[in-house]
């Protein structure tokens, strides 16, 4: 897969929105946003839109420039349940351009061999373009790494991000290191 830039698959809730941080203690550097994406509205069936309490999202505006700095070595792709709404709600806050997104053929449930439900779809997405990839998410484990090693012919970095903390300096360093010298290790 040499010659093509790797994908950087971006999850939102966890890496960009540290949803699991203590509700009364917004992490340093983050700002609070209240949003009503369609995916959130759909989780409240039968409730009029006006009565659905907005979703609290914490975003760090410094993440946008740091992701754009990686965009000279990666093609950034939303890999989130937010889908196209990531461009409407998240990208403007972070100063990101419109990005492609993975259009999940199915969401949720368990993947093969105990993997996270996204794993097989991201492997297929990368394989269709013949690309290596890095993926930041808060739902990664050993089963996902084993699956990618067995089913993806190129290099991949599956990088767990603590959903209480979001992306940190060490996470950006790991992404930059992988882009500079991809290895087969997942």
- pLDDT tens-place string over residues 57-79: 999 999 999 999 999 999 999 99
**Looking at residue 142, what is its pLDDT?**
95
Whether the predicted pLDDT of 12 surpasses 60: yes
pLDDT value at residue 1: 44
DSSP, residue by residue, the chain: -TTSPPEEEE-SBTTTB-TTS-TT-PPTT-EEEEE--HHHHHTSTTS-GGGSPPEEEEE-TTHHHHHHHHTTTSEEEE-STTTTHIIIIIHHHHT-----B---SS-SSB-GGG-BTTHHHHHHHHHHHT--EEEEESS--HHHHHHHHHH-SS-EEEEE--TTT-S-HHHHHHHHHHHHS--S--
pLDDT number for residue 2: 46
Segment 68-96 shows an average pLDDT of 97
Give the model's confidence band at 6: pLDDT under 50 very low, under 70 low, under 90 confident, else very high: very high
């Amino acid at each position: 897969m040499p010659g093509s830039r790797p994908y950087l698959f971006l999850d939102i809730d966890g890496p960009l929105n540290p949803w699991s941080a203590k509700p009364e203690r917004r992490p340093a550097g983050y700002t609070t946003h209240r949003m009503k994406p369609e995916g959130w509205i759909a989780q409240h069936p039968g409730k009029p839109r006006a009565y659905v309490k907005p979703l609290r999202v914490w975003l760090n505006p410094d993440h946008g420039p740091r992701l754009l700095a990686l965009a000279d070595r990666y093609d950034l792709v939303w890999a989130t349940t937010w889908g196209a709404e990531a461009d409407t709600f998240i990208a403007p806050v972070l100063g990101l351009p419109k990005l492609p997104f993975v259009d999940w053929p199915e969401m949720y449930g368990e993947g093969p061999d105990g993997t996270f439900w996204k794993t097989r779809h991201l492997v297929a997405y990368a394989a269709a373009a013949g690309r290596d990839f890095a993926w930041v998410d808060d739902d990664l484990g050993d089963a996902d790494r084993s699956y990618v090693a067995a089913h993806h012919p190129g290099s991949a970095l599956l990088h767990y991000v603590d959903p209480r903390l979001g992306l940190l300096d060490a996470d950006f360093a790991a992404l930059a290191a992988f882009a500079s010298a991809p290895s087969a290790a997942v």
